[in-house]
Amino acid sequence: MDLKKFDYDYIIIGSGFGGSVSALRLSEKGYRVLVLEKGKWFRSSDFPKTNWNLKRWLWVPALRFFGFFKVTYFRHISILSGVGVGGGSLMYANTLHIPKSEYFEAKSWSHLADWENELKPHYQTALHMLGAAESPRLEVGDLALQKLSSELGKEDLFQPTNVAVYFGEPDKTVPDPYFNGEGPERTGCNFCGGCMIGCQYNAKNTLDKNYLYLAQKKGAEIKPESEVYDVRPLNDQHGEDGYRIYWRKATSLFKKRGSFTCRGIIFSGGVLGSVSLLLKLQESSLPSLSNRIGHFIRTNSESLSGITVYDKQTVFSDGIAIGSILQIDEYSHVEPVRYPAGSGAWRLLMAPMAHGRNILVRIRIFLWDWLSQPIKNLKVYFVDDWAKRTQILLFMQTINTTLRFSKGLFRMKSGIASGETLPTFIPEAKDLAEKYAKIVNGKPTTLLTEMILSIPLTAHILGGAVMGESGEEGVIDKYNRVFGYKNMYVCDGSMISANPGVNPALTITAISERAMSRIQNKEIPPDLNE
């Protein structure tokens, strides 16, 4: 197809970490770029003050809720994800960690490249672009974790987090502090704790304030509320002549539809977006896709606990979302997580910590806890301000269990692929929560869905379009190119081919930087230079 007749050179589906990197780097190389994002475009004033404002917080189109926070339930896993221009950066906890060497040496992908050395410069680029800085304050919950580290004899393994936040002077707005004046104005963090319900104060370094902002200045277009439902090659079967992308209005009852042509395409909708779409397209317009789509789905093997105190002088909600981290051993670590004052919606899903191998054991422990401590349990549910009085502990662990997502009747369905079932109750997490509770004089709780249904929760769903030497091993090659098609890439969490054991945002950014660095600058024919 004549290059002049493409609507765009590249169309990017999704505006999370991989999509945002792709938008900027391709625009810098001279390509005409369009980003199609299913969610809305949020200004600081659009974010809710608390998570009780469900319509502004949650993404539930069936209820006409068009927020940025999505909860998806499967048989084997519950997933938290972001929807909107900026993807997961709108609701993640800002933490930017480089995984340990074990991640880069994992058998699932170490045969493809010397990942630790190859990605090292791209991690540094990502840290700069995302405005990484060390958390400057330890709050009540962080100090309690520091005390726990001392009790465990691991003081040297406790440290402040590296986060994507502009600290500066609290509430003071200054010209762009990151990109030599090319970026937007920023305002110093006031430590309100609201990172995960959307920063209202212009302090969080979300992708619309770095990669996407700069990509727009380079000519990239961003089209929000646009859900892609089909991708078809033009003229041939493998995309050598380009593609036509079909989209529909994601927030309208009357689904407005349209299409664009492009030379190349980048899937960046995350596991829930990209894998779901690829599974659908494999049965229709993209039959040459690898049969490995949906395989090797991983999490960081998380466990979430809530520690609620009754003392009204104790405030856990001040600070940034995650201000410190404690490495427990080479496989696991724990972080204290906070929500802003007034954000107590999660209390509806909390229950007494009842661990056990089966539901009968857990219900017995649950009932005994209520019978033996009725006043304490009632205080947890009716505490004056749940976010102020509750410290959430996030425990992560590296294990080899994987899931498989496959196409279901109406949406994807999950299944166990290898190893044991994803752990709902991790003994080390329970032990740490109980020790932490003693330090703060609080009561440990767990998620009701985990206790009753034995379904773990994750905010870090990964894999499903992993790397391999061929289509028999993976969906993409080591440069993120999709097997079976030309000028087609995957740059999002679905490309992650091993368990990083830490928040994956920085790694998704770094791998996407590497992938985009391999694409040559656009060569413009003389007749298009006018």
Give catalytic residues, as residue numbers. Answer: 460
Buried/exposed code over 53-72 (b: 16+ C-beta within 10 A; e: otherwise): beebbbbeeeeeebbbbbee
Kindly state the helix (H) or strand (E) to which residue 133 belongs, with its residue range. Answer: strand 132-134
| CA-based nearest residue to 316, from 383, 397, 396 | 383
Kindly state the helix (H) or strand (E) to which residue 295 belongs, with its residue range. Answer: none
Q: What whole-number distance in Å separates Cα of residue 404 and Cα of residue 416?
A: 6
Q: Are 332 and 396 in contact (CB under 8 A)?
A: yes
Which whole-number Å values give the CA distances from 146 to 141, 161, 330, in the listed order?
Answer: 9, 13, 18
Query: Distance between terminal CA atoms of the chain?
Result: 20
Q: What whole-number distance in Å separates Cα of residue 347 and Cα of residue 329?
A: 30
Buried/exposed code over 184-206 (b: 16+ C-beta within 10 A; e: otherwise): eebbbbbbbbbbbbbbbbbbbbb
Dihedrals phi, psi of 450, to nearest 5 degrees: -70, -40
Q: What whole-number distance in Å separates Cα of residue 36 and Cα of residue 23?
A: 11
Length of the chain: 530
| CA-based nearest residue to 308, from 346, 281, 272, 271 | 346
Neighbours of 493 (CB within 10 A): 31
Tell me the β-bridge partners of 463: none
Q: Are strands 303-309 and 442-447 parallel, antiparallel or unpaired?
A: antiparallel
Task: Quickly list H helices, 153-218.
Answer: 211-217
| CA-based nearest residue to 422, from 298, 275, 292 | 298
Tell me the β-bridge partners of 241: none
**Structure tokens, 190:** 């006031």
